[in-house]
Structure 1
Amino acid sequence: MTQYLAKYFALHRKLVLPGIGFFNTSTQPAQLEFVEKTLHAPVHTINFWQDENVADNNFISFLIKETGLNHYETINKFSQFITGLKEKLQSGVALKIPGLGILTNNENGYSFNPENLQQYFPGITAERVIRQNAQHSVRVGEDEKTSVEMHEMLNKEVVKDRWWIGAIVLAVVGVAAILYYYLSR
């Protein structure tokens, strides 16, 4: 029966154990550490709330489909399984639920130690890949051009405007003409 618990939890991210409590997951999104060039997977945390009055009819439907038993037999087997879990917990046995963690009974009720799911999702190196001379499409305003066309357009040699050279020559000629006029008199 424990394999069905883990499968249901993996598919639905929640699991109800009647008379014990319910499990669900909370997710922290993936993170990119730019300096370390590492991409960390999303962090999934398994939470447990002790509540003896919760029920989940969807789990019974799931069990019926998985086991192929009829509705009455499925409810009966699941009830026996839950009763067995409660008896083990009352006797002080720590229950290992595969894919979830370890459930124990203490003086305050039930205590849960979740399984570390991050061991299955280590961070990966995120190196920047630069491909020289690789052609791809680039959207420029309303137009779509290739990277080669954009490279040619951006790398055109700019003709430098040298208007100031002519201005200096005219200024020198003007000053020379004025000097000649006043000195020749």
Structure 2
Amino acid sequence: MKMTDLILKYLSIKTEVKIPGFGIFQQKNVPAFYDERLAALLPPAKEFFFTEDFNLKDENFIQFVAKEKNIDINESYAEIAELVNYWKFTLQNKIVLEIPDLGTFYFNDEGNFIFKGKHFSTESPENFGLEELNLSELKNRKSALGKSLENEYKTSRNPFWWLLLIIPVTAIIYLGTQNPELIFGKKSFKNLKKTKTDSVVKSRNLLKDSTKIDSTKSKIPTPKLK
């Protein structure tokens, strides 16, 4: 197992690891913040930090390495010292030092090295399942949505679409006036025939004539007396 893997494993057990002759790596909780370099809003998570101490003396990590690799203390110390010397040589020559899965050492304008630890999410309930929010990506999505709505608006103003709407409406109006049964269905009752006034007048005249005839027949001539 590589030394950097052992450092990460130690940090998963403890909150800090003391590297003799180099300094202290710590694992801390960090709140949500905006990362300008990534142009993203990072959720609450954990991050590695480093405190320089080239005079640090501690045997806890030495013993941990010896146990994990099944070697004696002297061999463990020698392997750690070899790695520390390489790190120091790189930094003294103003060379960016990247430690896999741990962080990166770089230099500011004044020539001092700065450690930027890895920012990583965990399964902690404190994070409430929040994920990294890329603001640039959101801006692009918003722009794409705006263009889509604009295209739909342009399409709705196209005369072709209005023509497709007018044709069926015109057809419905025409059928409603010329052949309403196709639209509204057949009527549920028949049209009643109107009684003609001429037939009423004729029936009344016939009634009067029949009355006159009956009255003449009913008269009996009276006999004359001699």
| Residue of structure 2 equivalent to 1:124 | 129
Summarize the Cα distance change of 1:6–1:90 in structure 2 as closer, same or farther, 3 Å threshold. Answer: same
Summarize the Cα distance change of 1:9–1:124 in structure 2 as closer, same or farther, 3 Å threshold. Answer: closer
Q: Distance in 2 between matches of 1:41 and 1:59?
A: 31
Q: Distance in 2 between matches of 1:16 and 1:72?
A: 17
Summarize the Cα distance change of 1:17–1:103 in structure 2 as closer, same or farther, 3 Å threshold. Answer: farther
Q: Distance in 1 between matches of 2:45 and 2:122?
A: 10
SS in 1 for 2:13: helix
Q: Distance in 2 between matches of 1:29 and 1:95?
A: 26
Give aligned pairs, total.
116
Summarize the Cα distance change of 1:25–1:57 in structure 2 as closer, same or farther, 3 Å threshold. Answer: same
Gaps of 5+ in 1: 31-39, 126-185
How do 1:15-164 and structure 2 match up within 5 A? 15-27=17-29, 43-105=45-107, 107=110, 109-118=112-121, 124=129
Aligned-residue Cα RMSD (Å) equals 3.2
The percentage of counterpart residues that share the same residue type is 28
Q: Distance in 1 between matches of 2:66 and 2:9?
A: 14
CA drift at 1:119:
8.3
Summarize the Cα distance change of 1:77–1:28 in structure 2 as closer, same or farther, 3 Å threshold. Answer: closer
Q: Distance in 1 between matches of 2:106 and 2:57?
A: 20
**Matched letter for residue 54 of structure 1:** L
CA drift at 1:20:
3.0
Higher Cα radius of gyration:
2
- Deviation readout 1:16-49 (Å, 9 max, x if unpaired): 233332121222589xxxxxxxxx9852232222
Q: Distance in 1 between matches of 2:113 and 2:91?
A: 8
Normalised TM-score (structure 2): 0.43
**Structure showing the higher helix proportion among its residues:** 2
Contact 1:20 1:110 in 2 (8 A): no
Normalised TM-score (structure 1): 0.51
CA drift at 1:120:
8.2
The 4+ residue runs of structure 1 with deviation greater than 6 A are 119-122
Contact 2:45 2:119 in 1 (8 A): no
Q: Distance in 1 between matches of 2:78 and 2:95?
A: 23
| Residue of structure 2 equivalent to 1:149 | none
**Structure showing the higher strand proportion among its residues:** 1
Contact 1:18 1:53 in 2 (8 A): yes
